[in-house]
């Protein structure tokens, strides 16, 4: 094989390897469990997460919170399917004022009496919050 052919083969192999590695990294990044949301108006009675990645079917739960960053009472929820969920809207079950802090959190569909019925109350184990690496899977936003 000529020197030119060897260089071409090496560069081709390097490009293919880089492309495959990048694809794997991107694929892995898209499967990261998490919640993404922005501050938003809640006057229409809903809160929307831009994206939620869930390891299995469950719930997007809207908790009240404050500067202490502890989950408070539930003020809304919406079902999640396993995988990527886009523009998940939860209907608020009570009034939320502009400036209120909200925690958008992923909860499981485990431990309750009925599948497909949200059964969690603050501190309960039924349909409770999930953790990834010991941390709650959530995002905090402010109502506008």
Of the pLDDT bands very low, low, confident and very high (cuts 50, 70, 90), residue 26 is very low
38/26 same-domain check: no
56/111 same-domain check: yes
**pLDDT value at residue 23:** 35
Per-residue pLDDT tens over the stretch 56-68: 999 999 999 999 9
**pLDDT value at residue 95:** 96
62/104 same-domain check: yes
Q: Which comes out higher in pLDDT, residue 110 or 14?
A: 110
**pLDDT value at residue 13:** 42
Whether pLDDT at 11 is above 50: no
The whole domain housing 4 covers 1-30
Q: What does the DSSP 8-state code read for residue 31?
A: T
**In terms of DSSP H, where are the helices of the chain?**
3-30
48/108 same-domain check: yes
CA distances from 125 to 26, 73, 109, 111, 122 (A): 34, 15, 10, 7, 9
8/40 same-domain check: no
């Amino acid at each position: 094989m000529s020197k030119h052919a060897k260089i071409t083969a090496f560069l081709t192999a390097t490009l293919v390897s880089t492309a495959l590695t990048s694809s794997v990294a991107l694929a892995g990044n898209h499967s990261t469990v998490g919640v993404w949301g922005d501050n938003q108006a809640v006057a229409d009675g809903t809160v929307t997460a831009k994206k939620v990645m869930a390891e299995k079917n469950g719930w997007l739960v809207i908790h009240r919170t404050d500067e202490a960053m502890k989950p408070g009472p539930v003020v809304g929820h919406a079902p999640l399917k396993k995988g990527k969920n886009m523009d998940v809207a939860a209907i608020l079950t009570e009034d939320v004022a502009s400036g209120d802090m909200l925690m958008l959190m992923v909860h499981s569909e485990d431990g309750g009496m009925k599948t497909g019925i949200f059964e969690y109350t603050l501190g309960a184990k039924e349909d409770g919050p999930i953790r990834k690496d010991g941390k709650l899977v959530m995002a905090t936003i402010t109502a506008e």
